[in-house]
Amino acid sequence: MVDINGLRGFTGQAINFNFPVAAIVGENGTGKSTILKVAACAYENKSSEGTYYPSTFFIQTHWDKIQDVILSFRIKQGSEAFRIKKPSQRWSLPTKRYKRHVYIQDISRTLPLDATVGYAKIARSTAGEISTDSISEDFTKRLSHILSRNYSSARFAQPDIDIKKEVGLLTREEFGEISQFHQGAGEDATLDLFKVILSTHSPYVLEELPESKGQPIGLAPTLGCD
pLDDT digits (tens, 9 = 90+) for 171-217: 998 888 888 888 887 888 888 877 777 666 667 777 766 544 444 44
Most confident of 25-29, 50-54, 213-217: 50-54
Phi-psi region of 120 (alpha: psi -120 to 50; beta: other; left: phi over 0): alpha
Average pLDDT over residues 84-111: 80
Q: Are 4 and 34 in contact (CB under 8 A)?
A: yes
Spell out the residues 6+ positions from residue 116 whose beta carbon is closer than 8 angstroms to its own: 108
Report d(CA 22, CA 24) in Å as an integer: 7
Task: Give me the pLDDT at residue 174, please.
Answer: 85
What is the three-class DSSP state of 92?
Answer: strand
Does the pLDDT at position 9 exceed 50? yes
User: What pLDDT, on a 0 to 100 scale, did the predictor assign at position 129?
Assistant: 87
Distant-in-sequence contacts of 134-138, Cβ < 8 A, 24+ apart? 135/195
DSSP code string of 121-168: HHHHH-SSEEEEEEPPHHHHHHHHHHHT---SEEEEEEESSS----EE
165 vs 84: which has the higher pLDDT: 84
Comparing CA positions, the residue from 61, 58, 83, 74 lying closest to residue 8 is 58
Instruction: Report the chain's mean pLDDT, rounded to a whole number.
Output: 80
Q: Position 158: which residue type?
A: Q
Average pLDDT over residues 92-115: 78
Ordered by start, the domain boundaries in the chain are: 2-102+202-221, 109-197
The predicted model scores a pTM of 0.66
